[in-house]
Amino acid sequence: MKAAKQELAKGLNEFVGGVIPKDKLTAMMQMPQKAGMGDFAIHCSPFQKVLGFDNPGEAAQFIADNAEFPEYISAESQNGFLNFFINSDYLANQTLDQVIEQGEDYGRNNIGEDKLVVFDYSAPNIGKPLHVGHIRSTILGDSLIKIMQFSGYETFGINYLGDVGLHIAKTVAAYDLWSSPEKLAKNPEEEILNLYVRFNKEMADNPELEEKAKLTAKKIEEGDLATTKTLDFISEMSMDAFNRVYNLLDVQFDEITGQSKFSDKGKEVIQSMLEKGVAEKTEDGAVVVSLDEYKLPEKVVLKSDGTAIYATQDLGAATYRKEHFDFDKLLYVVANEQEQYFKQIFGILDKAGNDWADDCFHVSFGMINLADGKMSTREGTIVYLEEVLDKSTLMAKKVIDEKNPDLENKEDVAKMVGVGAVKYMVLGVDYPKNIEFSWERALNFEGNSAPYIQYAHARASSILRKNGSSAEYEVTHIESDSEKQLVKQLAMFPLRVEAAVEKYKPHIIANYAYELSSAFNAFYNTVSVKDAGDQKETKLALVQSYVTTVNNAMDLLGIQLPEEM
């Protein structure tokens, strides 16, 4: 499909003597959903002007009659559109050849060649558990990294841990008051959270605690030995808990760096902004940057007592990353609550004369709502991510016990299905939108879900197990609609990858994997491979191509596909 699209753009460009650029023509090319309207279609109003016709319809007819396209493409004019039809036998041969020859590499492109993207993602806060809200950043970041690597980018993924701030000072202070290493070691996650909650509660009646928290914060910033030791201990416990979840999700980072590392760098950056007149001191000594020219409210970047804040560290971290990595893009995968904040940060960087501020991008994602309430174990307060994944795995196990009680590696498969279901639920939704999380949909074997795709893949794998994969095939003629549709879906994959990478949108791949698998299921329900006679090899090649392509697609989402389920 990709080659056909390029050849069409080339043909049209030549036909109008190069007046409409190829890029523009490629961008104008649509893929109609309705049958009978072609594999590609282009509206002819731009040609009307160039070719001097009164309406797009006449232009379309003229082009259809006179332009030369490759022989495997036919053109029809319809309502001002040119509809292009690709010969299905040609497409089948070409696509199967490509998929089978390229295997794991089918769908790759080199859009990102020689470019480096740095990711800032996951980024939970020490002292607080990873909850469902964090899952989106972690899973989205992980998938984007995979998609960008598949498109030739070099990537570097940073987990920017929240290891400073008042909430941590409170936890450290509370630990000193009420806890011990033994207590903490017993159930670290809960103990740490409880300390924080208790501190806040008691602080309401006891203002001395607030002073204590501030003092602790100061000690942390000054590097006081005893305080730092406590903080390190708490961090370690927190990190162990995070790592359990990262292991479940199979997510790895190139680097895990605390926010606190960038306080000094941030202060340096801000000092030079003061010198350049980009930032200014207020009467009470805080440093602010006015952002009128960006139509944004002014931003405090340093507190009046000279201590660093969230923005200080982000300015330091971004500058450090540019100096250290010389990235082509820096992507922040962070919830949309921080949308204005990142606009301000990028605005400040730009105002200070950093031309690379334009290369920073906030992948600003929506919330996850727990639609059926069942996921919320503690009256909607905090839902532990680990609990969600465990529950999902358990539910998957139940289904497998019913459907396929004799399956050998049930535990492993249940994990692939359970974790996959949660990942797919998260990745299947366009990132700016909120997610209405529903167990019913996540684990619905019949709907747009990971288990649906996994099940289709298991069916296909079973066909290959029973019949062997195809060594010799030659598509002579493809008759059935379901086969034509499957070929078309297979051929679409490289274009979908390009769309996903250009827009930072894994949901394009998720939805594609579903459409592809629906096409496979339709094929499965109507075509018998076993009884296909001399067409058997060809049908096997189709099944094999499906297996390869769906694996490549799901790999980009970090979702595993069991051979059997």
Shortest Å distance, C-beta 136 to ligand ARG: 12
Shortest Å distance, C-beta 277 to ligand ARG: 26
Residue span 387-426 as binding mask against ligand ARG, x where in contact by CB under 6 A, dash where not: ----------------------------------------
Q: Among residues 331 and 529, whose Cβ is nearest to ligand ARG?
A: 331
Does residue 169 bind ligand ARG (CB under 6 A)?
no
Shortest Å distance, C-beta 302 to ligand ARG: 16
Shortest Å distance, C-beta 201 to ligand ARG: 22
- Contact region for ligand ARG (CB under 6 A) — 119-127, 234-242, 388-396, 496-504? 119-127
Complete DSSP assignment for 490-509: HHHHHHHHHHHHHHT-HHHH
Shortest Å distance, C-beta 255 to ligand ARG: 13
Element (H, E) at 369: strand 368-370
Shortest Å distance, C-beta 58 to ligand ARG: 55
Does residue 160 bind ligand ARG (CB under 6 A)?
yes
- Contact region for ligand ARG (CB under 6 A) — 118-126, 295-303, 433-441, 471-479? 118-126
Residue span 61-100 as binding mask against ligand ARG, x where in contact by CB under 6 A, dash where not: ----------------------------------------
Complete DSSP assignment for 101-144: HHGGGTT---TTTT-EEEEEE---BTTS--BHHHHHHHHHHHHH
Q: Residues 325 to 364: which contact ligand ARG by CB under 6 A?
A: 332, 334
What are the backbone angles phi and psi of residue 354, rounded to the nearest 5°? -90, 110
**CA–CA gap between residue 5 and residue 2 (Å, rounded):** 5
Does residue 120 bind ligand ARG (CB under 6 A)?
yes
- Contact region for ligand ARG (CB under 6 A) — 24-32, 120-128, 249-257, 364-372? 120-128
Sign of the four-CA dihedral 111, 114, 118, 122:
positive
Does residue 125 bind ligand ARG (CB under 6 A)?
yes
Element (H, E) at 488: helix 481-503
Q: Among residues 188 and 266, whose Cβ is nearest to ligand ARG?
A: 266
Does residue 314 bind ligand ARG (CB under 6 A)?
yes
Residues in the chain: 565
- Tokens at 440, concatenated: 């019913």
Q: Among residues 183 and 261, whose Cβ is nearest to ligand ARG?
A: 261
Among 11, 56, 80, 162, which residue sits at the site for ligand ARG (rule: CB under 6 A)?
162
* Cβ atoms within 10 Å of 158's Cβ, excluding its own: 21
Q: Among residues 47 and 365, whose Cβ is nearest to ligand ARG?
A: 365
360: β partners: 330
Does residue 163 bind ligand ARG (CB under 6 A)?
no
Q: How far is Cα of residue 149 from the mean position of the Cα atoms in its chain?
A: 12
Q: Among residues 125 and 549, whose Cβ is nearest to ligand ARG?
A: 125
Residues 6 or more apart whose Cβ sits within 8 Å of residue 288: 279, 280, 281, 282, 298, 299, 300, 301
**CA–CA gap between residue 187 and residue 241 (Å, rounded):** 10
Shortest Å distance, C-beta 336 to ligand ARG: 12
Complete DSSP assignment for 194-253: HHHHHHHHHHHH-HHHHHHHHHHHHHHHHT-HHHHHHHHHHHHHHHHHHHHHHHHHT---
**CA–CA gap between residue 126 and residue 174 (Å, rounded):** 14
- Tokens at 316, concatenated: 């330091």
Shortest Å distance, C-beta 168 to ligand ARG: 11
Distances 226 to 195, 232, 422 between C-alpha atoms, Å = 18, 10, 41
Binding site for ligand ARG (CB under 6 A): 120, 123, 125, 160, 162, 314, 332, 334
